[in-house]
Amino acid sequence: MHLPAELLFRLREIFPIDALATGEAERIAYSYDNSRRQALPDAVVFPTEHAQVEALVQACRAHEVPVIARGRGSNTTGATVPVAGGVVVSFERMNRILRIDPDNRLAVVEPGVLNGDLQQALAAHGFFWPPDPSSAPWCSIGGNLACNSAGPRTVKYGSPRENTLGLRAVAGSGEGFRCGTYTSKGATGYDLTRLLIGSEGTLALITEATLKLTPKPSAVRTLRATYRDVGAAARAVARIMAQPVTPCALEFIDDAALKLAHDHGGDRVPLAGAMLMIEVDGEPATLPSAVDAVSAAARGDGLEELRVAETAEETRALWAARKALSPAQRTISPHKINEDVVVPVSHLPALVDGIRLLSAKHDVLIVSFGHAGNGNLHVNLLPRDDAERERAHACLADVFALVLSLEGTLSGEHGIGMVKREFMPLALEPATLELMRNVKAAFDPDGILNPGKLLP
């Protein structure tokens, strides 16, 4: 505990006794996230209302103590690890759905609402909120917004940046503010809403969000296509995205990942050189022609089998296997390096081929799968011992260089956090980074919000 006594006294005024934790056990529980990086905070607070967050940031600012917003810690980049100590703000108790407004296709939520809980509440009204990370059942909307977390449906429906209308937040200055609109369109001043989305808690703490909802399509069809090798599958992805019917999911799974998924999901998951899961949605009458269009594009050199999932159970098994891939890899390598690089779709074949070469060159197992329709691949380096870990780090630098040479960028949906911070100068020009630093200073003049993240 290194908090100044005066600050601790103030925190006790702001928070009830059960909403301020300073014991070691609680501090350890909030010291790490899914990146497996770790650093002890000095205290953890559990706000239940906006005013507490304002008072907290003002108090911490007065003492130059770091403030780290935290959803459910499911991010993979260390974005919520309190590397410089300070106060972790867990939003888990600010978890009310404040308003579901189907007539205006929007919902107002507190940041601690779980993505899965929101989807369930919306389904009753015939709507959904498009962002759907694999961690949907246990990740929070606040975390989704902070990291611009996306998921398979992004290829058709967009990320949080395309699906959020307004925010309430507290800047690093300690000032609360609202931005954006309660309407589906707006041109009243600067777009601070999108600026906060993906800023990983470094500009402001989000205390309320107005989300844009999408009507649930009435029907879905899932196809699986297996290919001789990863290159053939990647070329099929580029063909599918170059025709007009946009699938609502287009997932790529390489041979090593398929093996993992097969171990987890059983024989309903095929073994092959690579597999695509393709999903189309819409009104029932439209689906046969949509299935035809994507099927035609999926066919080509190297296709082994193309079939439409016959039963809901078969579809569920495919998705369960796909969603289990991230956790399953921990069994191979507790120190897996989980990247989520993104390239223009037409360069996906070159990316997949290049990764194969780098895996061989550095002698590191790499398992790749992900949201191929966006060119967004989860490239997982799976070192099994210390020597491999060192090789994996060298390999990673080569992977980023490859991605940038293919007009891609470091992250499609995981963000930067601690782990990709050092690579930012490869992806962004000095002038762009400088503007980002100026923007940071505009919101957080003393640099107390989530220090050590995002900007190098």
Q: According to CB under 8 A, which residues from 206 to 225 bind its own copies?
A: 215-218
Q: Which among 144-152, 263-271, 299-307, 391-399 is the span making contact with its own copies, rule CB under 8 A?
A: 144-152
Residues 231-270 that bind its own copies (CB under 8 A): 238, 241-246
Shortest distance (Å) from residue 230 CB to its own copies: 19
Considering only 91, 413, 418, 452, the residue that binds its own copies (CB under 8 A) is 413
Closer to its own copies by CB, 22 or 246: give it: 246
Q: Which among 7-15, 308-316, 325-333, 432-440 is the span making contact with its own copies, rule CB under 8 A?
A: 432-440
Which segments within 124-248 are labelled E, that is strand?
127-128, 164-171, 176-180, 204-212, 214-215, 219-227
Residues 352-391 that bind its own copies (CB under 8 A): 371, 374-376
Considering only CA atoms, which of 155, 269, 276, 282 is closest in space to residue 223? 276
Can you read off the two tokens belonging to residue 391? 């090789």
Closer to its own copies by CB, 407 or 422: give it: 407
Distance separating alpha carbons of residues 39 and 36, to the nearest angstrom: 10
Shortest distance (Å) from residue 89 CB to its own copies: 19
Considering only 346, 365, 389, 397, the residue that binds its own copies (CB under 8 A) is 346
Closer to its own copies by CB, 88 or 250: give it: 250
Please give the angle made by the CA atoms of 147, 166 and 445, to the nearest 5 degrees: 65
Distance separating alpha carbons of residues 207 and 168, to the nearest angstrom: 6
Q: DSSP string of 84-97?
A: T--EEEEGGG---E
Closer to its own copies by CB, 12 or 99: give it: 99
Distance separating alpha carbons of residues 146 and 323, to the nearest angstrom: 22
- Residue 375's contacts (CB-CB under 8 Å, 6 or more residues apart) are 342, 343, 344, 345, 347, 348, 351, 408, 412
Site string for its own copies, 177-206 (x = CB under 8 A): xxx-xxxxxxxxxxxx-xx-xxx---x---
Considering only 85, 412, 447, 451, the residue that binds its own copies (CB under 8 A) is 412
Closer to its own copies by CB, 3 or 276: give it: 276
Closer to its own copies by CB, 46 or 423: give it: 423
Shortest distance (Å) from residue 196 CB to its own copies: 9
Considering only 95, 115, 134, 159, the residue that binds its own copies (CB under 8 A) is 159
178 φ, ψ to 5°?
Answer: -115, 145
Closer to its own copies by CB, 243 or 331: give it: 243
Residues 316-345 that bind its own copies (CB under 8 A): 340, 342-345
Distance separating alpha carbons of residues 182 and 106, to the nearest angstrom: 8
312 is an interface residue for its own copies by CB under 8 A: no
Name the strand (E) or helix (H) holding 281: strand 274-282
Distance separating alpha carbons of residues 367 and 380, to the nearest angstrom: 5
